[in-house]
Amino acid sequence: MTQYLTFILPVYIVIYFLLLLVIPAVIVRKKIGKSPVVLSASDDAHGLIAKYFGAWMILASIYIILYVVHPASYTCFLPMSYLGSDALVISGLIVMIVSLLWTSAAQINMQASWRVGIDEKQKTELVSTGIFHFSRNPIYLGMIVSVVGLFLVTPNAFTMMLVVLGYVLIQIQVRLEEEFLYKMHGQVYLDYKNSVRRFI
């Protein structure tokens, strides 16, 4: 099973970035007339977390490229051979696919309110229906689950580090967004926050 991963993983990553970043960015840009990618470059918590998120994604991408181009390099990432099995790989792939579908559905649910980063210049509608009725942060939940799937597919110390680091970064980003949403929507957001769990 693992021999197919050198094909499956890059295809998944391309689909992931197209469905969850490129296509939504193009669609929302047409709707609102500006880029929905509003990552902060300032020297504050928002700017710092944006840089760390970028570094995290670059690390994950480099890992997958190395795995595909030079499979022998896998031994450098301290593999957990005791977790290596076809059943675990298949489970991980299923988790990644479910995550992709879940996250894509959440982004469609957001429509013109979808952003990468915090848009302080344009008020967006608070989305609380559909998937957002069950989770306040379904896209971030999908990202965490996707990286857990990558760990199951290629269990090693590096992918475990990606899971832990991604989880910590997302927890910080979510709280920054919660502060912003409260400032923007006030009591409406507080009511939503009190009725729907942060993740699930």
Q: Does residue 15 lie in a domain region?
A: yes
Q: Does residue 200 lie in a domain region?
A: no
Mean pLDDT of the chain, nearest integer: 92
**pLDDT digit string, tens, across residues 10-35:** 999 999 999 989 999 999 999 999 88
**pLDDT digit string, tens, across residues 145-154:** 999 999 999 9
Q: Look up the pTM and report it.
A: 0.91
Q: Assign residue 144 the CATH number of its domain.
A: 1.20.120.1630
- Could you give the CA distance from residue 146 to residue 150 in angstroms, rounded to a whole number? 6
pLDDT of residue 12: 93
pLDDT-based confidence at 120, cuts 50/70/90? confident
- Three-state secondary structure of 67-131: HHHCHHHHHHHCECHHHCCHHHHHHHHHHHHHHHHHHHHHHHHHHHHCCEECCCCCCCCCCCCHH
**Total number of domains constituting the chain:** 1
pLDDT of residue 183: 92
Structural domain of 87: 2-195
- Three-state secondary structure of 128-161: CCHHHHCCCCHHHHHHHHHHHHHHHHCCEHHHHH
- Could you give the CA distance from residue 12 to residue 18 in angstroms, rounded to a whole number? 10
pLDDT score of 175 more than 90:
yes
pLDDT score of 190 more than 90:
yes
pLDDT-based confidence at 1, cuts 50/70/90? low
Q: Does residue 134 lie in a domain region?
A: yes
The stretch 49-60 carries a mean pLDDT of 92
Give the SS3 label for residue 33: coil
